[in-house]
Structure 1
Amino acid sequence: MSNNSTAIVADLENMRFQYKSELTIYTEKLTDGRLLFAGLQDNGTSIYEHTDLKDKPSFDLTIDGESLYYGWEFNDFASEQDSLGNSTGTLTLTHASKPIQLKVITRCCGFGFFRRSLEIVSLSEDIALSLTNVIPFKGCIWSITDNIADNLRDDTVAPYSIGRFKDLYWANEGNFAWQDVPVNTGIFFNSTFGMSGHSSPFFILRNNINGGYFVCQMGWSSNWKTAFFADYFNDSRLPNKMNLNFEVQPVTPSPARSIAPGERIAAPDVHFGASHVDLDTAIQNLHAYLRQSVLRQVGDGLQPVIYNQAGYMVPGYKQPEMSEAGLIEEVDIAAELGAELFMIDAGWYGNNGQPGTDWGNTTGDWHAADILPNDLIPVYEHARSKGLKCGLWVEIETAGSKSKLAADHPDWFLTKYGSTFPRVLDLSKPEVKDFVESEIVRLVEKYQLDMFRLDYNSSSNEGGFNFKDGWNENTHWRHMEAIYEIFERVGKKFPNLQLENCASGGGRTDIGIVSRFTTTWVSDWFKMPRTVRILNGMSMALPPEFINRSYTPGMEGNMDSHMHVIMMGHPMLCGVAPSLAEASPATMACAKKYIGIYKDFIRTFHRTANVYHHTPVIPGADGTGWAALEYVSEDRRKAVATVFRLINAEEDRYALKFRGLDKGASYRVRIEPEGSEFVVGGYELSRQGLAIELDTALTSQMILLTKAER
C-alpha cells in the first residue's frame, strides 16, 4: 500500500522542523542548544511558531554520568522519501562539550504514525565513552487552558487516562485496563525480568476532556519504563493551564553500554501516533502502520496453520518422551486435520533419553538425542510427503546444566555478583554471539526448515556485568543488539523462512523483536476464559495475524469456543488426539471444520482486517462477563466476529452491534456452531445487532458475514 500523506517542512533559519503524517503534525525546534518537543496536533492544523512549547526537551541522553539534553549544535538536516511514500528527516547534531554526534531520525509513515530513532556516534579518538542512560523520546501533549476548573467537574474527572497491560507476570498478558493520571502526581510503569514482558512497552493515552488518543510503543526487548505527569498549574494570579508529560525509555544498570572511539550505536526505536478519532480507529491506524512499515512478511503473508507435536508426547503417556514413531504418528494427525506446518517442540536434543534429564537442562546441545537414532530426517521427510512444512523449537540463548556446551564453555554464561547466572548465555560476548548465529544457520540448512521457533525461558532480571573499556558494563544492551542483528541477518539469508518468537510464552512481545519475526507467542496460557482476554488485549498492540493462540488438551469450556479463540489469531493445535486410531471422530470433525473456516474464509482478509474491540477492558482475575471481537475486510465484503460468554456473566444475552459493515449492503450471515444461515441488512446489523444467547459459561458463537449480491 503506497502512502502519499506524509511530508516534512524544515525551517532551517528558525531551526524548526515539522513532520506530517495524515492529519497528525509533530513539531520540534532546536533552540538554546536543546531539541524541544514543540507540539503535536491531531487535526491537520499546524500551530503558530509563537505557541510552540519552549521548555520540553524531546529526549535525554546521559554520557559518563552527564545529562546531554542541552548543549547541541546544528550540523545538517536531510530528508528523503521511500517507495511507500514514507518521509524521513535526519537531523544531525554535535555536542558542544562532549565528543558526541547525534542523528535524530524521524520517519513519517502515514496513518498518523511516526517512528523515532536516535543514533549516538562517538567522536572520541582514544577514550571509550559510557552510556549512562537514554530517554529516546519524551514530550508534552494536550495543553488545556480553557475553563479548566469547570471542565474538570470539581476534580471528579481526571483529565487524562492511560491504557496499558496492567499485569507484569507470566500467563496474565494482554490484561488491558485504563488508569487515570492523578493531577500533579507522577506515575510510572516498568518491567523487571530482563525481558519486555509479560507486559509490553505499549500504552494509549486518552484525553478525557477534549478527546483524542496518543498511541506509543517502544521497540525494546529488555527492561523498560514509561512515566507520566499531569501538570496542572492553578495559581489564581495567572491563567490556569494543564498538560500531560510522558517519557519512555530502556532501563538497565549503568553503564548500559560503553561506546568505543568512532563507534555508532542506536537507541531503541519509538513508534507513536496521535488521532482525534474513536479507540477502534486509533487501533486500526496502529495496525495499518505496523503492517505497512514495521512488521516482517514472508511470501504472501498468509499464516500457516501449525500443528505442534508436544500435546500427548509427555512422560507418563508415551515412553520414552519422544521417539521417531511417535513423531510420525503426530505428523499423521496433523495431515489429517489439514494443518500446514509441523513443529517439533522441546526435547529433541541432548541426552534427554537418559534418566533424570528434561528438556530444560540439556539446551545448548543442538543435536538429535540418542532417543532419535535416525535424527529428525525421517520425521521431516514423512511430514513433507504429507504436504506439510517443517519447523523446529530451539532455545538458542541458553545452555542447560547437563549440556556439553555448559561443560565446555563455563565462561560463556551471564555472570553477576561474582557468580554465574544459570542457563543464560552472555551474547554480549562476541564468541557466544557468533556461536548462536552459526547454530541457527546450521539447523535451518541441515533440516531445510520452513519455520524456526525461538524460545527464551529465563529471567535475567537486571542482567549481568562485564568489565569493558574501563567500565563495568551491563549486559542487557549488547545482548539485545546481538539478538536483533542475528535475526536480521538470518531473515535476509533465508527470505522464505518463517520466524516464530516465544519467550516463556509472552515474555517478549514488544515491537523490537516482533518486527524481526513473522509470528509471536503472546502467552502460553491457553485455558478459558483468560485465553480470550489475552487475545482481546494483545490484538490492540499487535495485528491479530501475528498473535499465536493454541488449542491444547485438558482445557475448560467446550471445543468450539477454543477453536473460536485460536482461529481469530494465528492458529496452532497440539494434542487433538493421542493417535489417529484413538482420535474421537467428533473432535477431529470440529477441528477440521474450523481449520477450513480459517483457511478458506478468515485468512483471506486476516492480514488486512480492521479490528473492532467491543469489550476492550475485560475485568476479573481470569475474565468475567462477555467478550466480543470483530474483524472486517478492507472492502467490507467479509467479516468475522466472535462472542464469548466468560464467567460470572449477569445476563444470558449479549447484543452484538457490528461496527465496520457497509450499512447500505446486505450480508449473508452464518453462525457457528449452530450452522444457521440467513440474510440481513448491514444497517440492521449495526443498529439493532444480533442477539447472542448463551446460558452457560465458557461458550461462544462465531459469526461469519459475506456481502450478499444485489
Structure 2
Amino acid sequence: MSTNSTSIIADLARMRFQYKSELAVYTEKLSDGRLLFCGFQDNGTIIYEHADIADKPSFDLTIDGESLDYGWEFRDFDSVTDERGNTTGTLTLQHAAKPIGLKVVTRCSGFGFFRRSVEIVNLSSDTTCGLTNVTPLKGSLWSITDNVADNLRDDTVSPYSVGRFKDLYWANEGKFAWQDVPVNTGVFFNSTFGMSGHSSPFFILRNNINGGYFVCQMGWSSNWKTAFFADYFNDSRLPNRINLNFEVLPVTPAPARLIAPGETISAPDMHFGMNHVDLDSAIQSLHAYLRQSVLRQAGDGAQPVIYNQSGYMVPGYKLPEMSEAGLQAEVDIAAELGAELFMIDAGWYGNNGTAGADWGNTTGDWYAADILPNDLHPVYAYARAKGLKCGLWVEIETAGSKSKLAQAHPDWFLTKYGQTFPRVLDLSKPEVKDFVESEIVRLVDKYQLDMFRLDYNSSSHEGGFNLKDGRNENTHWRHMEAIYEIFERVGRKYPNLQLENCASGGGRTDIGIVSRFTTTWVSDWFKMPRTVRILNGMSMALPPEFINRSYTPGMEGNLDTHMHAIMMAHPMLCGVVPSLAAASPAMMACVKKYIGIYKNFIRTFHRTAKVYHHTPVIPGADGTGWAALEYVSEDRTKAVATVFRLINAEENRYVLKFKGLDKQAIYTVRIEPEGSAFEAGGYALTREGLEIELDTALTSQMIMLTKNK
C-alpha cells in the first residue's frame, strides 16, 4: 500500500529528471557531459526548463588525479516504486574517455526527503584505478533575483545561515548553533579524528530572505567536510542574483580506494530534504523519513531500559572489584529499579590478572578474565531469572598492547608513516575483517546476547596506508566498508538483536553507522547542564528514541532533573546506588517513578513522536538560560514536555507554550516532581501556555498531557 507521495518525471529526450517527494521537487539534467543540479523547490511547483540553473554540477569525481566532472554519456534510466510508495530512479552513465561507469540512484522517500547513492564502476578488464576524491552531492539553492540589493539592506543582512554542531571535541557534542554565510564568502566545517564525530556531517541551511530550510546528512563514519558559498552577482553584465552553493564529501588521503577491474564501490549515501514551514517541521520531516526508510529496528522496536554495571564498578578503581558476586549484586539493583536489560561493560576480558584495572590494554582477547573463573554464564543466568535481557560491551576494532591477539598478529594493526598505530586493528585487511565478524557472531551465540555494544575509543586521524600494487591506499574507506558490511550481516542474522553504537561517547553519530544500529551514544558526558544541551542538539539530527542518555555517579543538581533528561531520550542507568543495602529509599523511589513514566507513558509514543525544539540554540560553555523540549504523539492524544533551568538564567520564570497539541481538545495535565494534576484546554496551553517557576539552577519540571475522551 502506498503511503508516500513520490514520483519521478524522466524526460529522456532532454535528459532532464525531476524527483518529487511530497512538496519537494529536485531537478537534474545531463547536459554537455555533466549531470547538473538544476534546482530544488519546496512548494510542489514543477520547474520549467528555462528556469533551470545551468552551470552547477551535482557531484564531483576524480579518478587517478583526473577530474571526471564532465564527459558523461547516457546509458540507461529506470524507476521502480515499492509498497510504501517510495520511488527510486537509477541513472546509468559511462565516461567517454575513462573506463568508468556510474549508477546515480535517487530515492524519493516521502516527507520531502531524498536519498542519493552514487555507485562507481571500474569498467576496465585489466587495470586498477584509484579514487582520488568524490563529492556525492553538491548544488545551488535559492536563486534569488528580485530586489536582492534592497533585501540585503546594504550588506547588513546575510542572505543565508547554516545550522550545525559547532564543536568537534569530546564531551561537546550537540552544540547546535547558526552561523551566517555572508555574500561572496566561503564557510566550511570538517572532522579530523578519523571518525565522523564528535560532531556530525549534518547541517540545516536557512534562507534568511525568502524563508525555507534545507536539511542534509551524509552517511559516513570517518572524516568529512561540508562547505558553503553565498554567490552574489551584481554588475553591469549580469542581473542581481544570489544563490547558496553547498557541497558535502568524505575526506581521505588519495587514493582513498583502489577499484579493481570490474569492481563497484559506493560513495557515502546522502540524505536531504527541503521544507518551507518552520524549523520544527523540517526536523519532524527528517525524523519521519529516518524512522520509516533508514533506521533499524529490532523486534517490536521498543527500546529497553538499560542498566550498565560500571557505575560503582569502575575499571581501575574496583569499587567493588568486578567479580561474579559483584555483577550479580548489580543485577539485583537493576531488577529492583525496573530496568529491562543488564549490560556488562568494559573490563570483563583478558586473562592476565589486570583485566578490570587495565581494560584498554587487554581488548582483543574476548574471553572472560581470571577474575571471572566461571565465565559470564552464571551472571547472565541470574539476570535472566530476574526477567532481564543481557548485553555485552566489546571494542571489537581494537587490540590492546597486553592482549594475546596483539602478540600473535602484529601485522593486523593500522600502519602509518612506517609505524604501527597502537590499538587500532586494520579492517581493510580481509583476514582482520573476517576475524572481527567471527568474534561478534561467536560472542552473540555463546552468551545468547540481546544487545551487542560496539565501542571505539581511538582516533586514527587521517588513517593508515597499505601498499597495494605499488600504491599506498588509505585505510579509511575499506575500514568503513568493512564495519558497515559486518553489521548489516549481523543485523540480518539476528533480527531481534539490539545493536548499540558507541565511539568514545559521540565519536560516530552519523547516519551511516547509526542506520545499522538500534541505539546510539551521542556523548558520554552526562553531567548537568551540558547533558541537556547534548540531548537538545542531537535530537535534531536523530530521533530521540535512538539517543542514549544516562544517569551516572557524581552528578550535580537535582535528581528529578537528571531523570527528566534521560527519560526524554533512550534511558540508561549506571551507578544509581553502590548497593541495595546502602540505597536511599527516597532515591530509589524517585528513579523507579520515572522508569515507570518512561515505560508506561513516554515509550508508548516515543518512536513516532513529533519533536518540538522550543530552545534550538542553547548558548554558553555548558548551557545557559532555559531549555525546553516537547514530544507529541502522531494523533495528538499524548504529549510530554520538560522545561530545564540551566545556569545563569536571568529570570525565575519560563512560559511554555505548547506547539503540537489539538487546540480543540481538553487535556489532563500532570506535572512532576510536584505531582499536581488538572485539566486544561489545548488552545489555552498553546496560546497562553504554562508558567514554570524555578528559582534555582539545575532544576526542571516534566509536564505530561493526555487528551480526554
With the shorter chain as reference, the TM-score category is over 0.9
2:278 alignment counterpart: 278
1:298 alignment counterpart: 298
Which digits, 9 at most, give the CA deviation of each residue in 1:427-474, with x for residues without a partner? 000000000000000000000000000000000000000011332100
CA separation in 1, counterparts of 2:209 and 2:97?
A: 43
Judging changes above 3 Å, is the alpha-carbon distance between structure 1 residues 384 and 355 closer, same or farther for their aligned structure 2 residues?
Answer: closer
Classify the secondary structure of the residue corresponding to 1:595: helix
2:25 alignment counterpart: 25
CA separation in 2, counterparts of 1:260 and 1:342?
A: 45
Query: Do 1:352 and 1:371's aligned partners in 2 also have CA atoms closer than 8 Å?
Result: no
2:98 alignment counterpart: 98
2:555 alignment counterpart: 555
Question: How much does 1:353 deviate?
Answer: 3.1
Classify the secondary structure of the residue corresponding to 1:239: strand
**Letter aligned with residue 122 of structure 1:** N
1:405 alignment counterpart: 405
Question: How much does 1:314 deviate?
Answer: 2.5
Query: Do 2:560 and 2:673's aligned partners in 1 also have CA atoms closer than 8 Å?
Result: yes
2:221 alignment counterpart: 221
2:505 alignment counterpart: 505
CA separation in 2, counterparts of 1:4 and 1:399?
A: 46
Judging changes above 3 Å, is the alpha-carbon distance between structure 1 residues 185 and 315 closer, same or farther for their aligned structure 2 residues?
Answer: closer
CA separation in 1, counterparts of 2:322 and 2:355?
A: 13
CA separation in 1, counterparts of 2:674 and 2:178?
A: 36
Question: How much does 1:316 deviate?
Answer: 7.6
Classify the secondary structure of the residue corresponding to 2:361: coil
1:625 aligns with 2:625: yes
- 5 Å-filtered alignment, 1:424-503, equals 424-503=424-503
Query: Do 1:352 and 1:359's aligned partners in 2 also have CA atoms closer than 8 Å?
Result: no
Classify the secondary structure of the residue corresponding to 1:301: coil
Classify the secondary structure of the residue corresponding to 2:603: helix
Question: How much does 1:356 deviate?
Answer: 9.7
Stretches of structure 1 that go unaligned for 5 or more consecutive residues are none
Query: Do 2:181 and 2:228's aligned partners in 1 also have CA atoms closer than 8 Å?
Result: yes
CA separation in 1, counterparts of 2:362 and 2:255?
A: 33
Stretches of structure 2 that go unaligned for 5 or more consecutive residues are none
Which digits, 9 at most, give the CA deviation of each residue in 1:235-254, with x for residues without a partner? 14531100000000000000
CA separation in 1, counterparts of 2:319 and 2:569?
A: 33
CA separation in 1, counterparts of 2:352 and 2:623?
A: 38
Query: Do 2:465 and 2:473's aligned partners in 1 also have CA atoms closer than 8 Å?
Result: yes
Classify the secondary structure of the residue corresponding to 2:292: helix
**Letter aligned with residue 287 of structure 2:** H
1:601 aligns with 2:601: yes
Query: Do 2:188 and 2:227's aligned partners in 1 also have CA atoms closer than 8 Å?
Result: yes
Judging changes above 3 Å, is the alpha-carbon distance between structure 1 residues 436 and 316 closer, same or farther for their aligned structure 2 residues?
Answer: closer
2:262 alignment counterpart: 262
1:382 aligns with 2:382: yes
2:391 alignment counterpart: 391
CA separation in 2, counterparts of 1:155 and 1:55?
A: 26
CA separation in 2, counterparts of 1:204 and 1:319?
A: 45
**Letter aligned with residue 38 of structure 2:** A
- 5 Å-filtered alignment, 1:57-456, equals 57-314=57-314, 318=318, 321-351=321-351, 353-354=353-354, 357-456=357-456
1:672 aligns with 2:672: yes
1:55 alignment counterpart: 55
CA separation in 1, counterparts of 2:338 and 2:130?
A: 54
Classify the secondary structure of the residue corresponding to 2:238: coil
Judging changes above 3 Å, is the alpha-carbon distance between structure 1 residues 523 and 352 closer, same or farther for their aligned structure 2 residues?
Answer: farther
Judging changes above 3 Å, is the alpha-carbon distance between structure 1 residues 315 and 488 closer, same or farther for their aligned structure 2 residues?
Answer: closer
CA separation in 2, counterparts of 1:393 and 1:446?
A: 14
Query: Do 2:318 and 2:356's aligned partners in 1 also have CA atoms closer than 8 Å?
Result: no
Which digits, 9 at most, give the CA deviation of each residue in 1:351-381, with x for residues without a partner? 3633895110000000000000000000000
CA separation in 2, counterparts of 1:357 and 1:314?
A: 8
Classify the secondary structure of the residue corresponding to 2:359: coil
Question: How much does 1:298 deviate?
Answer: 1.0
Query: Do 2:58 and 2:139's aligned partners in 1 also have CA atoms closer than 8 Å?
Result: yes
CA separation in 1, counterparts of 2:169 and 2:317?
A: 30
Query: Do 1:258 and 1:469's aligned partners in 2 also have CA atoms closer than 8 Å?
Result: no
1:642 alignment counterpart: 642
Query: Do 1:130 and 1:471's aligned partners in 2 also have CA atoms closer than 8 Å?
Result: no
Question: How much does 1:126 deviate?
Answer: 0.7
Question: How much does 1:153 deviate?
Answer: 1.2
Classify the secondary structure of the residue corresponding to 2:539: helix
Residues paired across the two proteins, number: 709
Classify the secondary structure of the residue corresponding to 2:407: helix
**Letter aligned with residue 333 of structure 1:** I
Query: Do 1:33 and 1:73's aligned partners in 2 also have CA atoms closer than 8 Å?
Result: yes
**Letter aligned with residue 119 of structure 1:** E
Query: Do 2:315 and 2:358's aligned partners in 1 also have CA atoms closer than 8 Å?
Result: no
CA separation in 2, counterparts of 1:167 and 1:136?
A: 24
Query: Do 2:318 and 2:357's aligned partners in 1 also have CA atoms closer than 8 Å?
Result: no
Judging changes above 3 Å, is the alpha-carbon distance between structure 1 residues 154 and 136 closer, same or farther for their aligned structure 2 residues?
Answer: same
CA separation in 1, counterparts of 2:574 and 2:118?
A: 43
Query: Do 2:316 and 2:358's aligned partners in 1 also have CA atoms closer than 8 Å?
Result: no
Query: Do 2:42 and 2:275's aligned partners in 1 also have CA atoms closer than 8 Å?
Result: yes
**Letter aligned with residue 373 of structure 1:** P
Which digits, 9 at most, give the CA deviation of each residue in 1:659-681, with x for residues without a partner? 00000011100000000000010
Query: Do 1:351 and 1:357's aligned partners in 2 also have CA atoms closer than 8 Å?
Result: no
**Letter aligned with residue 548 of structure 1:** N
Instruction: Report the TM-score, using the length of structure 2 for normalisation.
Output: 0.99
1:694 alignment counterpart: 694
Judging changes above 3 Å, is the alpha-carbon distance between structure 1 residues 12 and 495 closer, same or farther for their aligned structure 2 residues?
Answer: same
Question: How much does 1:4 deviate?
Answer: 3.1
Judging changes above 3 Å, is the alpha-carbon distance between structure 1 residues 524 and 24 closer, same or farther for their aligned structure 2 residues?
Answer: same
Which digits, 9 at most, give the CA deviation of each residue in 1:4-46, with x for residues without a partner? 3000010000000000000000000001000000110000001
CA separation in 2, counterparts of 1:638 and 1:133?
A: 48
Which digits, 9 at most, give the CA deviation of each residue in 1:564-602, with x for residues without a partner? 000000000010111111111111100000000000000
CA separation in 1, counterparts of 2:234 and 2:581?
A: 75
CA separation in 1, counterparts of 2:356 and 2:643?
A: 45
Classify the secondary structure of the residue corresponding to 1:641: strand
Which digits, 9 at most, give the CA deviation of each residue in 1:664-702, with x for residues without a partner? 011100000000000010000000100000000000000
Judging changes above 3 Å, is the alpha-carbon distance between structure 1 residues 76 and 383 closer, same or farther for their aligned structure 2 residues?
Answer: same
**Letter aligned with residue 230 of structure 2:** A
Question: How much does 1:182 deviate?
Answer: 1.4
Query: Do 1:194 and 1:223's aligned partners in 2 also have CA atoms closer than 8 Å?
Result: yes
Question: How much does 1:262 deviate?
Answer: 0.3
**Letter aligned with residue 283 of structure 1:** I
**Letter aligned with residue 502 of structure 1:** C
CA separation in 2, counterparts of 1:2 and 1:616?
A: 34
CA separation in 1, counterparts of 2:704 and 2:479?
A: 45
CA separation in 2, counterparts of 1:2 and 1:434?
A: 40
CA RMSD after TM alignment: 1.1
**Letter aligned with residue 508 of structure 1:** R
Judging changes above 3 Å, is the alpha-carbon distance between structure 1 residues 701 and 473 closer, same or farther for their aligned structure 2 residues?
Answer: same
**Letter aligned with residue 401 of structure 2:** S
Query: Do 1:413 and 1:423's aligned partners in 2 also have CA atoms closer than 8 Å?
Result: yes
CA separation in 1, counterparts of 2:534 and 2:366?
A: 32
Instruction: Report the TM-score, using the length of structure 1 for normalisation.
Output: 0.99
